[in-house]
Structure 1
Amino acid sequence: MITRILVSACLMGQAVRYDGASKPLVHPAIDRWRREGRLVTICPEMTAGMPVPRPPAEIEGGRTGAEVLAGRARVLERTGGDVTAEFRRAAQNALALASETNCRFALLIDGSPSCGSGFIYDGRFSGERVAGEGVTAALLRANGIEVYSDRDIEALVARAG
């Protein structure tokens, strides 16, 4: 059975980010994995029914995705809307897809309150980064899936081949 890699749709050039943009990641391994049929593309937020574009969202108080999953933090939009339930559902959808498609690895866009794996934003919409992970990244890691950011693709290549 082929080992697949769950990958953020925005990294694959899909315009699914909150602002309607993408952040395509160009790398020879991406092209090879695509040819080998190893990539499983997802935008967790879109699987939870969130629109594009949508208001920017951050985890409150510089907290982490694990704290959101534990019920100790919320994901809030800049407009004040509470989208915690949507982000939790998005994470569950990503985990289900990863499990169904034999993804042992995930390549996710850093900084996102969903997909961030090395850093997220501080929850004040100040542009300040804090170490931490988003809700989807936290749930995937808690379930044994190795999560890599777009900045760590070389480490993923070393692990996934």
Structure 2
Amino acid sequence: MKVAVSACLLGENCKYSGGSNRCERLLEQLARHPEIEVVPVCPEVAGGLPTPRPPAEMVDGHVVNNQGVSVDAAYRRGVAHEMGRLRAAIDAGDLAGAVLQSRSPSCGVHQVYDGTFQGVLVPGRGLFADALSKAGVQLFDVADL
């Protein structure tokens, strides 16, 4: 059984700020289940974005950074890449779910930032979370663990 996990939650320094969102609670839970194969995913890096990079938010369904530059193509390229990596497991029913970073324009499960760069959250999913959901993958927001 496989579970896709946002790489930043596993401690990989791929977050926009150059750090990670390492989640000890998640790592402890995964360690208790050695039968689970963890598949680290990071659509931003897979799409060719550097680390660190300017923060980005969703604006009318498109991803734009805080300098007003569209990074939507890179985000969508990364989503396509990561979905391609997961496709065989999804098709075979081997991907039990995905644990994703909250509020991200890629991975947000319940909410994303509204594009004003003022910390305002709105209901919605990031691009990668949306693609996984449409493929029938069960999503888990790390904040819900």
TM-score of the superposition, structure 2-length normalised? 0.89
Structure with greater proportional helix content = 1
Aligned to 1:58: 57
Specify every segment of 5 or more residues in structure 1 that has no aligned partner in the other structure, as ranges.
62-72, 154-161
Aligned to 2:23: 25
Distance 1:48 1:32 in 2: 32
Q: Is the 8 A contact 2:110 2:123 kept in 1?
A: yes
Structure 2 counterpart of 1:122, from 105, 114, 118? 114
Distance 1:85 1:30 in 2: 33
Q: Is the 8 A contact 1:98 1:104 kept in 2?
A: no
Q: Is the 8 A contact 2:57 2:113 kept in 1?
A: yes
SS of 2:24's partner is: coil
Distance 2:86 2:96 in 1: 8
Specify every segment of 5 or more residues in structure 2 that has no aligned partner in the other structure, as ranges.
none
Q: Is the 8 A contact 1:46 1:90 kept in 2?
A: yes
**Further displaced range: 106-115 or 89-98:** 89-98
May I ask how many residue pairs the two structures share in their alignment?
Answer: 139
Distance 2:65 2:106 in 1: 13
Report the identity percentage: 35
Q: Is the 8 A contact 1:13 1:23 kept in 2?
A: yes
Q: Which amino acid aligns with 2:127?
A: V
Task: Supply the RMSD in Å over aligned alpha carbons.
Answer: 1.4
Runs of 4+ residues deviating >6 angstroms: none
Distance 1:100 1:24 in 2: 27
